[in-house]
Chain A
Amino acid sequence: MLSAPSLSYMLLSPMLIVFGAAVLGVLIEAFMGKAHRAAVQLTVSIGALLLALLQLWQIKDMSSTTAAVNSVTIDKAGIFFQFIIVSLALVAVLLIADQDNFVAQASAVPGSNEEKIAIQQKVQQTEIFPLVLFAVGGMMLFTVASDLITLFVALEVFSLPLYLLAGLSRRRRLLSQEAALKYFLLGAYASAFFLFGAAFVYGYSGTVSISGISAAAGSANDIFLFIGIIFISVSLLFKISAVPFHSWTPDVYQGAPTPITGFMAACTKVAAFGAILRIFYVGFADSQTLWQPLIAVIAVITMIFGSVVAIAQRDVKRMLAYSSIAHAGFLLLGVVSLSKEGLAASLFYLFAYGFTTIAAFGIISLVRDSTGEVSDLNRWVGLGKKSPLVAAVFSFLLLSFAGIPLTSGFIGKFAIFSAAYQSGNVSLVIVGVLASAIAAFFYIRVIIMIFFTDPVNDSVSVVIPSIRSRIAISCATLISLVLGVLPSLLLNAANTFANLIK
């Protein structure tokens, strides 16, 4: 007799809620009148994410390797990754709800009459909400997938909506569309690399399950495993924008609508690191001699390259893109550490960095002139005089990126550096410290532009933020501050949850 497979709905419920809400969102698009669509979509998204959080809280003490017919591993770390992603998404959705960042009608050719009419009629592209939910669901799945096939499916589920979202900017639409196309083409390559690598690993171990790969270590010629690891790494390193797979990052960060950039920068990083940590800590842990030197080298290049190139940037979104590259380098130290401390530090770092990033992009979306958002740093001069509060908050966030004490960024850096030191990678710590010193320069230069330079005529002003943006930005900033002063709670939680089932 055929018995029904065990799915463990309870453990899957956070993801199911998000995916369900995404499907519901599509139905709303199809059947609901235009008038109330935006409000309903927002309510559904927020409700679903809150419900998912609640559900994650319910299952926080459970674990299983057999959910969804062995394709998903729900463990402590997986639950924590999902928790980070959902809470970041919750803040990001509030920013995304400010529709004036998005194109009125994506199908209209830029500059055409159709576009003008759409703008006049105040058409809104409310599909953004279900797209974001699909991406969130995919990211959640990505961090708990326990075989390469599920991993690949999750990768595509969260990537495809992001490609679309990146092209939906209201202003400078051609730039936005170019960014989307670049992201899509390079992302497709990365996916292909992943499949190629997965095939090699399968050839080596005869299984696609991550724990199976680990069990098969040493059973065949290591060269196949090595090639497999390299190809899989390429695709994952692409997602976290590590050098030399970073080239899409500045363009996409610049071109995408700013709230989406924030969402992408924060959540994609968490999801991708979730998968990387799982694969390397579980699947490739026994073959660490194969990949550790490689990832260490990539970490070094990424830290230094990101920090150095950011100095030359004149566009605040591009600057943050390079800064996110540098941060990916710091986070790779957690991967190289291959220890419980490294995992705990990564969890903390991702949480802290995610909120700082979302708040920073939230503020960028407020700085505008008559034609729209201005990301040219030369026009940010004197912002401190015009809107001291916004300037002060943005400076605080930059200091957090730079890792100055009493900000969350500092605690994160400290945690990850000490994990790396403990695992014997002292030279990586020294490079990290030097890269931080370089990085401090460009963060502080922005503070100088904002505060110590007099405003010029064509400089920008800050729009009065909507209540939603206000909540989002202040929540995220507050989290950065609290985690800098009283990090104990989250650090202890990260320690408890730093556990991947092998």
Chain B
Amino acid sequence: MSLLTIIGILPLISAGLIALIPTKNSELIKKAAFIATLIVAAASVFMAISFDKNSDQLQFIQKNSWISAFNINFSLGIDGISLVLILLSTILVPIVILATWHESDNGRWSSKVFYILLLVLESLMIGVFAANDLFLFYVFFEAMLIPVYFLIGGYGTGEKSAAAIKFLLYSLFGGLLMLASIIGVYIISSDQIGATFDLTQLATLEIDNQTENFLFLGFFIAFAIKAPLWPFHTWLPDAAKAATPGTSVLLLGVLDKVGTYGMIRFCIQLFPDASKTFTPAIITFAVISIIYGAFMAIGQKDIKGLIAFTSISHFGFITMGIFAMTTQGMSGANLYMVNHGFSTAALFLIAGWMISRRGSSTISDFGGLQRVTPVMAWSFFIAGMSSLALPGLSSFVSEFLVLVGTYTRYPVAAIIGTLGIVLAALYILIPVQKALHGPITSGNENLKDLNLREKIAISPVVLIIVFMGFYPKPVLDLINPTSEKIVVNAGFSDPIAKVGK
């Protein structure tokens, strides 16, 4: 059993053990869940250290036969991109647990159920990024929906069950379209190379153009819903508003990355020709997402809605970087996934604390927080600055790479995309000014600043945001070889800039 498999199974085993603790003993349950996820995080950091970053081959491979009738294997293995996304997931989960210690207390069910769902979800998240078998990926991809559905519906606020079902139906619909495509790929493989779901082998298939386009669309729509890309985004703001801050962090920070990850791993690798055909359309959708998300964010009165729409804008950037088909764009998009994960986590966690302290999620209810709760206000400020890609903070590097990578091939798209950065300044600075600066509005006088637990929880996130802004090299080293390989395998080479150097 490889280290990867152990990391993937650990949360599941912990969930089983937690199920044995009596429901009343919720403190013990929380501590157990926290320690378990901390161990998983430590193990995955260890895995990252022992990862050979000079190789673009799959590592930590595990392969067992699962359903022999269809030649389906339980096949795991990671390259650089998978590794950083697994790291993102495993690091975020203990932070979320610590940061939202009391989140599960007022749910429909006990906190035991909450942590079991969370741990199961963590296993599935690791699995979805590690799967090398198309069928296995699909199983993780769909099974992941169920714990999230119960996390939103059981512990969320407001219109939670409507939001939960909207989330589930959108995702299921996309997933089923993908299932049709998966079956198509499988049948084609059985005609050409013998039935298989192995990704490396499937990438060698010769598919005729029309079929390839349809198969590509099945995958792409599923991932575009997940990511979410305009016009498939409408479930996200509702889900983000209804979910608890911790769930939202995992939903936007990790789960939505499955969409963009899937575009890289499946759309481009399995269907390079179709990707080429659809690139102009997809870049257009991405640009619309960037601008639309930004404008919607500016108009938001609800702080969770604001973060949700900024994410739609950011996912536009990521998608644009991916389909620019340049190594810079691809690396930038991958780095962006990680950075967006951490900055959204910071935003959502702090927003969650603000909301629970003030009892309101309307931006205009806050004011002068900097004087009442300086630590909370400053952390929010840093997260916000990272979100608008301030140089020196993490998102700047990735946004820059994406725009440079896009410019060499699609200058117009890159220029319009740059407009998104300007709008970002508006959608972040206006709420920051309203909520953090200015006079202390009534109702805010006695808000408490972050306590020790919350400070401990948020500090690693802020540290990562700052560190990655100055020194993204460790992560880029992991990402670059794989990104290059993907772009080259898809039959692209970096265009030489037309403007003189």
Contact = CB atoms under 8 A, between A and B. Distances in A.
A426 interface: yes
A81 interface: no
Contact of B68 (A433, A452, A488): A488
Interface stretch (B178-186, B243-251, B260-268, B285-293): B178-186
Contacts of B416: none
Contacts of B180: 417, 421, 429-430, 433
A387 interface: no
Contacts of A444: 165, 168-169
Nearest to B179: A433
B70 interface: yes
A491 B70 contact: yes
Given A445-B165, A488-B66, A491-B70, A452 B176 contact: no
A448 B165 contact: yes
Interface in A397-412: 399, 402, 404-406, 410-411
A448 B153 contact: yes
Contacts of A414: 70, 179, 183
Interface string A424-454: 0010011001101100110011001001110
A422 interface: yes
B470 interface: no
A418 interface: yes
Nearest to B184: A421
Contacts of A288: none
Interface stretch (B135-143, B227-235, B398-406, B448-456): B135-143
Contacts of B153: 448, 451-452
Contacts of A130: none
Interface residues of B, number: 33
A388 B150 CA distance: 14
Nearest to B145: A404
Given A417-B183, A430-B180, A405 B161 contact: no
B69 interface: yes
Nearest to B69: A491
Given A418-B183, A433-B177, A448-B153, A404 B146 contact: yes
Contacts of B143: 404-406
A492 interface: yes
B125 to A, nearest CB: 15
A429 B183 contact: yes
A421 B184 CA distance: 7
A388 B19 CA distance: 14
Contacts of B183: 414, 417-418, 421, 429
A499 interface: no
Interface in A11-44: none
The size bracket of the interface on A is: 35 or more
A487 interface: yes
Contacts of A445: 165
Contacts of A150: none
Contacts of B172: 402, 437, 440
Interface in A358-404: 385, 388, 399, 402, 404
A422 B69 contact: no
A495 interface: yes
B235 to A, nearest CB: 14
Interface string B67-82: 1111000000000000
Nearest to B139: A405
A176 B67 CA distance: 44
Contact of B176 (A385, A411, A433): A433
A295 B165 CA distance: 34
B187 interface: yes
Given A426-B184, A436-B176, A441 B154 contact: no
A67 to B, nearest CB: 30
A350 B183 CA distance: 20
B108 interface: yes
B46 interface: no
A147 to B, nearest CB: 33
B169 A441 contact: yes
Interface in A429-488: 429-430, 433-434, 436-437, 440-441, 444-445, 448, 451-453, 487-488
**Which one of A433, A436, A453 has the highest number of Cβ atoms from chain B below 10 Å of its Cβ?**
A433
B160 A452 contact: yes
A405 B142 contact: yes
A405 B139 CA distance: 5
A422 B187 contact: yes
Given A451-B153, A491-B70, A421 B187 contact: yes
A452 B160 CA distance: 9
B12 to A, nearest CB: 12
A146 to B, nearest CB: 28
A406 B69 CA distance: 16
B433 interface: no
**Which one of B146, B154, B180 has the highest number of Cβ atoms from chain A below 10 Å of its Cβ?**
B180
B173 interface: yes
A213 B176 CA distance: 40
**Which one of B66, B154, B184, B187 has the highest number of Cβ atoms from chain A below 10 Å of its Cβ?**
B187
A338 B138 CA distance: 27
A405 B67 CA distance: 13
B179 A417 contact: yes
A177 B381 CA distance: 71
Nearest to A396: B146
B190 interface: yes
Interface string B35-75: 00000000000000000000000000000001111100000
B283 interface: no
B164 interface: yes
A116 to B, nearest CB: 44
A418 B134 CA distance: 14
Contact of A406 (B139, B165, B176, B177): B139
A404 B160 CA distance: 22
B145 to A, nearest CB: 8
A437 B69 contact: no
Nearest to A430: B180
A340 to B, nearest CB: 12
B189 to A, nearest CB: 11
Nearest to B168: A444
A415 B184 CA distance: 12
A417 B67 CA distance: 16
Contacts of B139: 405-406
A491 to B, nearest CB: 4
Nearest to B186: A418
**Which one of B69, B161, B180 has the highest number of Cβ atoms from chain A below 10 Å of its Cβ?**
B69
A404 to B, nearest CB: 6
A405 B138 CA distance: 8
A98 to B, nearest CB: 30
Contact of B69 (A399, A453, A492): A492
Interface in B406-450: none
Given A404-B145, A421-B187, 10 more contacts: A404-B146, A405-B138, A405-B139, A433-B176, A451-B108, A452-B153, A488-B66, A488-B68, A488-B69, A491-B69
20 contacts: A388-B109, A402-B172, A404-B142, A405-B139, A414-B179, A422-B187, A429-B180, A430-B180, A433-B177, A434-B176, A437-B176, A440-B169, A440-B172, A440-B176, A448-B153, A451-B153, A452-B153, A491-B67, A492-B69, A494-B69
Closest A-B pairs by Cβ, 6 of them:
A491-B69, A452-B161, A405-B139, A405-B142, A433-B176, A433-B180
